[in-house]
Amino acid sequence: MAVSVLMSVLIVLLATPLMRRFALAFDILDIPDHRKSHGNAVPLLGGVAVYFGIASGLFSSYESFHLFSGLLLGGTLIVVAGVIDDVRGLSSGTRLAIQVMAACMVIISGYRIDFLPNTMMGNIGEVLLTVIWITGITNAVNYMDGLDGLAAGIAAISAHCFSIIAALSGQYSLCVFTQILAVVCLAFIPFNLKGNKIFLGDAGSTFLGFTLAGIAVIGHWASDHVLRLSVPVLILGVPIFDMIFTTIMRVKEGKIHTVGEWLDYAGKDHFHHRLIDIGLRSRSSVLFIFFIAIALGISAIIVSQSEETFVGLMAILQGIIIFGTIGVLMIVGAGRRSGWDISDT
């Protein structure tokens, strides 16, 4: 494990500056506009370095590579599509089709959501749910990539929570893989913060989302069959809730009407934007979201290790209360931005 983790970190530390120079040389830049929080053009392709770091860690372990080959192949497709999108742009339909193809690679490799009756309709339902889950989380994490260090930090926290549960339940190969993902993200964050920074780009944020979604499908997260479903939802609760809440608000306000518009729409109405609207600075908003993610991750660990249904349900209830807190903050933030009278909110 130590060799794989160290190799991954080393690759990221070496590859990230190289990808920054490459992006600058070929003008692969994130140009600021009214929808973005940065003031200067910033190189993209940091996600490619993250991909190389994770792939190198898997290649160093035959067992891990064999178990996660489908996830890595799908992730490779996501990264390639993301790079093309960062360089020249892809239509929303093309991006979604590629994400569905990548999700199918995970399913073909033998993994899918498994809780419906073992019938033809049940199997079809599980395949459809798996595709929806993977594509949904892929885009949810992508939407979180709006402040420096946020997407990589959320991915690191989520991966570490998955790693703890995997270790406690004897899923050692999955534990190694999730630790590789966590340390790679942590190694990348300083490059996303300092003056000569680099962004993950769509290639990186979608790859992280896809990988986390695949990990959730591959692992076994709780002994209780029903409670097991809540563990990945709690760990990935921040991007899931952010995606659902912003989607509902955009539909309600008539901003989106189709899946394509949903994929293409970019606005300052995500959780991290709402925190800024209520007065937090960017770094404070990122730290606040990290604490929320850690709290939800702890709830997930409690659920996974609980032998009593009641204890697990209490941990889930705690998660629901946290989601409620997020919802209130987003509503207050929306009111501040729109100039509503929120004195009674």
Burial class of residue 278, CB neighbours in 10 A (0-12, 13-18, 19+): middle
Q: List pLDDT tens digits, range 82-91.
A: 999 999 889 8
- Report whether pLDDT(62) > 90: no
Helical residues (DSSP H) of the chain, grouped into ranges: 2-25, 46-59, 62-67, 69-87, 92-108, 120-143, 150-168, 172-193, 201-218, 230-235, 237-252, 259-264, 271-277, 282-305, 309-338
Question: Sign of the CA dihedral 264, 266, 269, 273?
Answer: positive
Q: Where are the domains of the chain?
A: 2-338
pLDDT, averaged across the chain: 87
pLDDT at 338: 62
* Whole-angstrom distance, CA of residue 221 vs CA of residue 232: 8
Please provide the DSSP assignment of 84-121 as one string. HHHHT---HHHHHHHHHHHHHHHHHTT-----S-SSHH
Residues in Cβ contact with 141 at an 8 Å cutoff, skipping those fewer than 6 apart? 151, 154, 155, 205, 206, 208, 209, 212, 236, 239
Per-residue CA distances from 157 to 247, 297, 305, 327 (Å): 24, 8, 18, 21
* Whole-angstrom distance, CA of residue 228 vs CA of residue 226: 5
Nearest to 318 by CA among 247, 234, 257: 234
At 229, the amino acid letter reads L
155 and 178 Cβ atoms separated by less than 8 Å: no
Q: Which two tokens stand for residue 134?
A: 């993977």
pLDDT at 151: 94
Q: List pLDDT tens digits, range 219-272.
A: 988 766 667 788 999 999 999 988 988 888 888 888 887 877 777 777 777 888
pLDDT at 57: 86
pTM check: above 0.75: yes
184 and 9 Cβ atoms separated by less than 8 Å: yes
- Report whether pLDDT(32) > 50: yes
At 97, the amino acid letter reads A
Please provide the DSSP assignment of 31-60 as one string. ---TT-S-SS-EE--HHHHHHHHHHHHHHT
pLDDT at 225: 63
